Amino acid sequence: MKALAETQAVDVWYLVPVFAMYRQVSGDGQINEDGGPRVDAALGTTSWRDVAVIEEPQPSDLFDQPRHRSKRAVDVAWFEKIAKERIGEAFGGRILDETLPLGRNGIQEFSLMFAWANPSEKAKLAPKLAKAVLE
């Protein structure tokens, strides 16, 4: 994404697989060994791992030792938000606020996002057109 943004000549429609990202963190807070690195690559960072899983304190055991239980702390909307932030960073904030959620059976599987690389004033038409397409 950064390489595309640096061209200052490319508009990008990006279909973000937000549900697939979400599924890489199990309900008990385990990050999938194969899928976790794919999320790292898609987002261009591993920092999502620090937020996606939390440790909940549990009652102490018989020997009064503290215990913790891991659990997933994020949802599909969170992955959409993070992907949008990451793309926005690459494109200097030139990303459309609106996204198009796509999926089936009431499940948001993807988010269609639009970003433009050209920082000139004339490029302001690109997000207007993209917003019209999303509506």
pLDDT for 54: 87
Residues of the chain with pLDDT under 50: none
pLDDT for 43: 95
| Phi-psi region at 8: left, alpha or beta (left = phi > 0; alpha = psi -120 to 50) | left
pLDDT for 61: 64
Each residue's pLDDT tens digit, 41-52: 999 999 999 999
Contact 18, 111 (CB under 8 A): yes
Single pTM value for the model: 0.86
Return the bridge partners of 71, or none. Answer: 54
Return the bridge partners of 68, or none. Answer: 57
- Give the domain range for residue 130: 2-134
pLDDT for 69: 77
Return the bridge partners of 9, or none. Answer: none
Within 8 A by CB and 6+ apart from 131, the residues are 96, 98
Number of separate domains in the chain: 1
Contact 59, 67 (CB under 8 A): yes
SS (H, E, C) the chain: CHHHHHCCCCEEEEEECHHHHHCCECCCCCECCCHHHHHHHHHCCCCHHHHHEEEEEECCCCCCCCEEEEEECCCHHHHHHHHHHHHHHHCCCCECCCCEEEEECCEEEEEEEEEECCCCHHHHHHHHHHHHHHC
